[in-house]
Structure 1
Amino acid sequence: MDIDMLRAFQAAAAAGTVSKAALQLGYAQSNITTKIRQLENDLGTPLFYRHNRGITLTPAGKTLKGYADQVLRLMEEARRAVTDGTAPKGSLAIGSMETTAAVRLPELLASYHRSYPEVNLTLVTGPTEQLVQAVLDYELDGAFVAGPVEHPDLLQDSFIEEELMIVTDAAHPPLASAKELGSRTLLAFRAGCSYRARMEQWLHEEGVMPVKILEFGTLETILGCVAAGLGISLLPRSIVQRKAEEGSIRCHPIAHKHSRVWTVLIRRRDAYVSQAYKAFTEQIHAGVVR
């Protein structure tokens, strides 16, 4: 068993076909097939079921997959640790909720890029649940999510506290109670969004069930549909205040129990902390974000 065999096995397991794995690794298809056969011979057990649609892992293959992922991740981490000098460089993958990326991060990202042009910074947006899993799976170096996040494998730093507001079309009268929202459609990001979960929890506690929940992929679409009277949403004041001042939407405060939420920056406890990541957090603590 060697590293090249494990890489071929990992790629094939992820791709589901030998041809796709070969394309991904830049090898001939016969090369991938040979390495997998050698690995199966070394271990004395088949690792894949072969069928017309491609390949799927056997029970032994599923067991090996976990170890292969860990070994190859540690190899990459070792490479990063050895080559990581005093100046930030290389890749840095950061995740963020759509709302935080829209308002809180542009100034930080611009400042970071100016200060450390040799860092290849990638920003991935998504709901909190998805971002947490991506950090746990070592796909992201860190992520801005709604806190608190309770997980033994994660560390978190407080980033900024947000005030949440109910957002309606501009013609909607002031809200006297949550029960007035029972006939309205809830506009939200897809499942896994912390603001959506908080909204549903608040309405449930008030004995209110939304007539319908419509899911959207972008903040701009949600705000546009709210302004058009399609439904209501729950969003941070920092996101909606300007549009409320312009008169296109109306903001309504909610009970304090549900109105405050911290955005936190999470990372894996056991992951290597690169100079690029350290510099990123230093800019946060230096007050680049307001």
Structure 2
Amino acid sequence: MRTERSSRIRTPLAVAAAVAALPVLAFGAVTAVSAPAAPAGAELASAEAEQAALIWSDEFDGAAGSAPDPANWNHETGDHGWGNNELQNYTDSRDNSALDGNGNLVITARQEADGSYTSARITTQNKVQPEFGRIEASIKIPRGQGIWPAFWMLGGNFPGTPWPDSGEIDIMENVGYEPHMVHGTVHGPGHFGGGGITGSYTHPQGWSFADDFHTFAVDWAPGSITWSVNGEVFHSVTPADTGGNPWVYDQPFFMILNVAVGGEWPGYPDGTTQFPQEMAVDYVRVYSLDGQGSV
């Protein structure tokens, strides 16, 4: 981790309202929105155009080998496939989730001596549940066929309200066979699984997102969710995009960080996949935008 990145709080960039007019493309069985053409690192608007205030963060500043702060994070555990025929067993072991002593949380997917896989999935359920604002994380993702890192959210009423009626906002997902591409998606009533409303963002230079840290964010307001990578908007969803199905995103959500191994979407590890694989998270932050946002 480069210390200058986490030594200050950066004011987020404003998002472009015109993203709602982006063209819709066919993307398999999924509704996809193309990324706007923009040069690498281009600022979409001046920071002064939108007032933002940091209201919560975890900077992962702690001793090497320590657990993520239990005041913020829960560990979900188990090896039951997680609805996607995944292979990993999620554990609460420091072998799979720990601070590195340099300001990062590291989630590690491992292949164990018996050939099985372990990893970690941590959530802020019932601890930190934002409602609106900018939800942002700086992440260096892992790489390899069958590796599936994600930063995402589920409705705070889950599991009392079952998925997909609870709502799901995927801020960043990557499947290892597309090292240069990340995806942002919502799943809800009538638009879930392969029918999720999704947009994809390709690295401007075509490089792997695993090569460095990148900032993945959603700007979330009543009736609107907009995705960006490194400040560049690539996707937006409003109630008009749900095909008349209920909009279930105007409620508190909890955050999730995980690295899955295998599954129906990414496929499964093969002879090219190297273990262990690490996802390093520099920070997770929640900002209030123009006075909207709470945790």
The TM-score range, normalised by the shorter chain, is under 0.3
Considering Cα pairs closer than 8 Å and 6+ residues apart, tell me whether 1 or 2 has the greater RCO.
Answer: 2
Return the index of the structure with the highest Cα Rg: 1
Output the TM-score relative to the length of structure 2: 0.20
- Greater percentage in helix: 1
- Greater percentage in strand: 2
